[in-house]
Amino acid sequence: MGIKDVFNQAPSPEEEALYKQVLDEVESGVMRKGIYAKALADGLGDEGKAQSLYIKYRVQSLVDEQKGKAEQLGIELAEKERYRKETEKAQKARDKAKAKRMADNEWKYNTPWYVKFVIFPIVWVVCMVLIFMLLLALGVIG
């Protein structure tokens, strides 16, 4: 391990803040007992090594917690997006159904009476007569 390797391991600003937080914990005496027990075991009872390992393990646990929170946030955002899309799809379906009802009611409520009761029946009778004449000409009826 050369000198370049040591410098490449310098903590990022985010990691530096985590190391400071852990050092404050150690200096105040408020440490996580489980992590300290592992550090003590891995340090073979040497307090200096145990403290060093505690700092390393505790920073890693904080990084893992942040990753867990980020993953949870990502899951929550994905669920919100899925819910938004489902809601939007349902709203489009409701709007389409409403537009169809309005179009269906357009004839019922907005068509003048003379179209309903005079022009439409006349057009219908003319069409029926034309169909009847076509069938006669083709010899289908006789």
Name the percent of the chain lying above pLDDT 70: 94
pTM (2 d.p.): 0.48
Same-domain status, 97 and 131: no
Do residue 96 and residue 137 come from a single domain? Answer: no
- What mean pLDDT is predicted for residues 108-136? 89
- Predicted local distance difference test score (pLDDT) of residue 1: 46
| CA nearest to 39, candidates 24, 25, 54 | 54
Domain count, the chain: 2
- Choice between 3 and 20, residue whose per-residue pLDDT is larger: 20
Structural domain containing residue 35: 3-107
Enter the tokens of residue 109. Answer: 């409520």
* Distance separating alpha carbons of residues 94 and 119, to the nearest angstrom: 34
Residue indicated by tokens 């370049």: 4
